[in-house]
Structure 1
Amino acid sequence: MNIRAPSPADGQQLILLFGMPRSGTTWLGKLFDSHPHVLYCHEPDHRRVFADSGAADAADRYRLELQTFVAGLPALQSLRVAGKRPLFRKKFMSEFGFQVARLSTEVARAGSRVYPAFPIVVHHDGSGDPERRVVWKSIQSLSSLAPTLTALEKARGIHILRHPCGYIASTLRGVDLKTFSDNSSIGWMAYKSARNAAGTPLGDRFGFGDDHEQMVRDLTPEERLAWHWVLTNEKARMEVGDNTRYLRVRYEDICRDPQAGVQKMFEFAGLEMSDQTQAFIAASTGSSQNDYYSVYKNPSQAAWRWREELDDQTVARVMAIATRSTLGAEYANMTPPEGRPS
């Protein structure tokens, strides 16, 4: 009898791997992708914003929209979603099938230079694997994690948290490299977070009301990013509450002990450690590449690089904001591993 993988439409065997940009989400995503039973979807919600309303009729529409979206995840053939390097062989692929899929991915990569939407023609969706887990990695949907878990009643959500200074230093490095942003969009992110929080329990807690625009306008770029970090992460934490299908992990803890960190996440996801994952942990932490988006980095150096990039006054201003929140307070006394700058 041929037993097929369940559809992820209601969240069955679906893992949400959500975090803010520049929080280690790509590395953690590829750690999951290295598992032979995981079908990994890299930021399929890029440039797509789901509704986030508490009204009953809107919640029903939101549920249907999400269920339709995740049901289609395994079939996505875009290079951005299904072709993120490195590629890993899966239990639902033969060696020949893997090589053909890899070749098809490289053809799509070359073709995308002419036609950006060039698809991966040979794509394995893992539908014949009853142990398949679909992983949706996102830097777009963290603020909607709680309603997403509510709508997808069997999904499990992992919230990736990074030290606010690490997030800020990496974001500003991207600005300097002209990789993805600038100071005006930093301001826009903070204005949006403050506007969405105003008039809610979250905004009341941190003093964001009708004057939120003026409050943000008077801040430095680092302070704006600090508030964006607080409001985005605290929204997810507060709304999820004590949901047992929610796990919060700190990037720095996984960098400190990748083996234990991956084991914890895999157990939550119902996965066992695999030899392929063990090999990728060793490869990704044992060498470094200079590319801004590389997953091959010394984890301790990557996690604590911000101490060499932000001066003491900036760190103090950032932490004065961050530690007003429950999540920021967790970082107040975190120390770098031995051998890193203190």
Structure 2
Amino acid sequence: MTPVLVTGLPRSGTSWTGKMLTASGELVYVNEPLNPQRPPGRSPGVLNARVAHRFQYICPDNDGAWLPAFTDTVALRYRFTAELRRNRSPYDLARMVRYGTAFSFGRLTGRRALLDDPFALFSAGWFAERLGCRVVILLRDPVSFVGSWQRLGWTFYFHELLEQPLLLRDHPHLEELRSLVGCQDRLAKAVALWRAARTVAVDLAARHPGILLVRYEDLASAPQHGFRRLYEWAGLTWSARAEARISRACTAAATAAGGFTWSGLSRTAYRPMDSRQALATAAGRLTAEEIHRVRELATR
């Protein structure tokens, strides 16, 4: 069965998109197995391999451990013994029960895995070729993306990319980021990461027929139309139930009965929202001067 990967930079709408796809009832949601922090990462029950970097790069030249680990993940085989060897807190045990049950039930009922993982972005080609994933890459407007990172106080340390020789070999333009190592300008760094990711995403989509680029703004402004297209792309059934759930989760009535609910064990960034209103407020997180600067840096 064909697994699905939803990726893109963090804060590009991957969790929201992944949750909307699971409205089909045909997928088991797997949250960020390549996240190097726990939670949600460092869970060998979900992915029995060691993640060393944010945006860990995986390709045929280094997938000796990754291929069997991800083969288990997309086949929904939960590794209970491996999980218990590493994680034993009450939270860990509750999460193990949740994921172990979801994996086992999904496998028995013929469901497919959906990986929501922004950290898989640079490795999306490998997921498409080696695992046969249908890959959706979310691209978000740079002003909205940078505004979201600024609001959260996030920054990025480029050594996470530059210390991976195979990544630089396959995407040599990332060497341009070396000049920003040690830079304290969070806005400039966020734009540089956005530009690098966009270049990689466009290149991957051009080379891999199993990868689809989707603008977050297009999905948010017309969710019914956009998700119907994604359902067709992923081979999912666009049912009246899925359509109704997506409608509830993407409007002001998102918290009404029948919509999606927040679960502490899932640890996603997803919240029910009015997607059109979210578009209108995104740019308000930056000043007019900052917006102008982001636009200027993004088009260089």
- Would you say 1:284 and 2:249 are equivalent positions? yes
1:224, CA displacement in angstroms?
Answer: 0.8
- Would you say 1:246 and 2:211 are equivalent positions? yes
In the other structure, the counterpart of 2:229 is 264
Q: Deviations over 1:228-262 (max 9, x none)?
A: 11112322322442321110111110111101110
1:140, CA displacement in angstroms?
Answer: 1.1
1:49–1:284 CA distance, 2 compared to 1 (3 A) = farther
- Is the 2:4–2:113 Cα contact (8 Å) retained in structure 1? yes
In the other structure, the counterpart of 2:97 is 120
1:270–1:165 CA distance, 2 compared to 1 (3 A) = same
In 1, distance between residues paired with 2:126 and 2:18?
A: 22
In the other structure, the counterpart of 1:75 is 77
In the other structure, the counterpart of 1:307 is 283
- Is the 1:194–1:208 Cα contact (8 Å) retained in structure 2? no
Matches within 5 A, 1:79-228: 114-118=90-94, 119-120=96-97, 122-123=101-102, 124-130=104-110, 132-152=111-131, 154-175=132-153, 181=154, 186-188=155-157, 190=158, 192-193=160-161, 203-204=172-173, 208=176, 212-213=178-179, 215-217=180-182, 220-228=185-193
SS at match of 1:125: helix
Give the AA of the match of 2:106.
Answer: G
1:115–1:76 CA distance, 2 compared to 1 (3 A) = same
- Is the 1:216–1:224 Cα contact (8 Å) retained in structure 2? no
1:318–1:117 CA distance, 2 compared to 1 (3 A) = farther
SS at match of 1:297: coil
- Would you say 1:41 and 2:30 are equivalent positions? yes
SS at match of 1:127: helix
1:225–1:44 CA distance, 2 compared to 1 (3 A) = same
In 1, distance between residues paired with 2:25 and 2:235?
A: 13
SS at match of 1:126: helix
Q: Which runs of 5+ in 2 are unaligned?
A: 37-50, 81-87, 256-261, 263-267
In 2, distance between residues paired with 1:223 and 1:270?
A: 39
In the other structure, the counterpart of 1:28 is 17
1:303, CA displacement in angstroms?
Answer: 2.4
In the other structure, the counterpart of 2:6 is 17
In the other structure, the counterpart of 2:273 is 297
Relative to the length of structure 1, the TM-score reads: 0.66
In 2, distance between residues paired with 1:156 and 1:201?
A: 21
- Is the 1:20–1:140 Cα contact (8 Å) retained in structure 2? yes
Q: Which runs of 5+ in 1 are unaligned?
A: 1-11, 79-111, 176-180, 325-342
1:207, CA displacement in angstroms?
Answer: 7.7
In 2, distance between residues paired with 1:270 and 1:142?
A: 21
Q: Deviations over 1:202-237 (max 9, x none)?
A: 555x8828xx33x45456211110001111232232
SS at match of 1:75: coil
In 2, distance between residues paired with 1:314 and 1:21?
A: 20
Larger Rg: 1
Q: Deviations over 1:264-291 (max 9, x none)?
A: 11111111212332122122122367x9
RMSD over aligned CA atoms reads 3.2
SS at match of 1:249: strand
- Would you say 1:232 and 2:197 are equivalent positions? yes
Q: Deviations over 1:126-145 (max 9, x none)?
A: 22344x33211101110111
Give the AA of the match of 2:2.
Answer: Q
Give the AA of the match of 2:115.
Answer: W
In the other structure, the counterpart of 1:95 is none
- Is the 2:188–2:297 Cα contact (8 Å) retained in structure 1? yes
In the other structure, the counterpart of 1:66 is 67
SS at match of 1:252: helix
- Is the 2:58–2:123 Cα contact (8 Å) retained in structure 1? no
